[in-house]
Amino acid sequence: MDKNNTATHVKKPEWLKIKRQRNEKFVQVNNIVKRHGLHTICTSGRCPNQRECWNKGTATLMILGDICTRSCRFCNTKTGRPHPLDPDEPRKIAESVGLLRLKHVVLTSVDRDDLSDGGAQHWATTINQVKKENPATTIEVLIPDFDGKTTLIDLVIAEKPDIISHNLETVARLTPQIRTKAKYATSLDVLSYIKSHNITAKTGIMLGLGETANEVTELMDDALKVGCDILTIGQYLQPSRKNIAVSEYITPQQFEAYRQIGLKKGFKQVESGPFVRSSYCAEKHLATDE
């Protein structure tokens, strides 16, 4: 059995206890998601902000199905052999964005290593459809690494989303333990390529996996060297018993300290807190371009 999942249980502190709330807007978003057969990282990733975001009428929509070809140890998304692509998914996503009346939408996806293009063309089609039917809606995309193939990243860049995000997830030392196929250097290359096209580049990491403070600041330096504009830092929360265990709960004070360090080092925006996720308050990040 995995020793990381048999480690001494670390008790969840008071600041991580969430007050569950549902209002009419939450119900409306939930109904639209179910009616259109959509997938959201809010649900599959067991995001602690789901109710807060859905109560505000926002959601991060996940394309390319809900089964990932990778099995990263922090992630609760289903893994295995994915179903064939739904050619009608771009239309359903675009229609749902309109029904939700979103001013800003975040699109993400599972990894599709089973596809020759990693799903890049489907990504491009979806972005294009959302923009066509919702011209006033700004778009952020959180993309996979596409194995670092720039010709595939080009398909996404060509559709000109407002922000392109790709997550480093964790520090260099822990990457081989936490992520399966993804490599730290490849993720940095992806961020560098995004920025080389004058698009706002964003990345996110989780804390509480066994990283040191020095490693966190080294990651900041690495991300800044490749031109990354925005950094999000959040607490890793073990979504199920099969996932890697939490090593430590970082205090709100330490998250704030990291935020200040990141800003002083040169990030244009840093979101840092126990409940921060890569798409949390994403609409605020558009100010980076102003």
- The pLDDT of residue 204 is 97
Query: What are residue 119's phi and psi, to 5 degrees?
Result: 90, 10
- The pLDDT of residue 278 is 74
- The pLDDT of residue 28 is 64
How many angstroms separate the CA atoms of 151 and 135, rounded? 26
pLDDT per residue as tens digits for the range 121-162: 999 999 999 999 999 998 999 999 999 999 999 999 999 999
How many angstroms separate the CA atoms of 144 and 137, rounded? 22
pLDDT greater than 50 at residue 31: yes
Percent of the chain with pLDDT strictly greater than 90: 62
**118 in Cβ contact with 152 (< 8 Å):** yes
Q: For the sheet containing 230-235, what is the strand order?
A: 39-40, 60-63, 104-109, 138-142, 163-165, 200-207, 230-235, 269-272
pLDDT per residue as tens digits for the range 40-87: 554 544 555 555 555 555 668 889 988 999 999 998 888 999 999 999
Q: What is the mean pLDDT of the chain?
A: 86
**How confident is residue 284, by pLDDT bands cut at 50, 70 and 90?**
low
Long-range contacts from 29-38, C-beta under 8 angstroms, 24+ separation: 29/54, 29/57, 29/59, 29/100, 30/54, 32/96, 32/99, 32/100, 33/59, 33/96, 36/92, 36/95, 36/96, 37/92, 38/62, 38/92, 38/93, 38/96
All domains of the chain in start order, with CATH: 21-284 (3.20.20.70)
pLDDT per residue as tens digits for the range 230-253: 999 999 998 888 899 999 999 999
Query: What are residue 40's phi and psi, to 5 degrees?
Result: -130, 140
SS3 assignment, position 9: coil
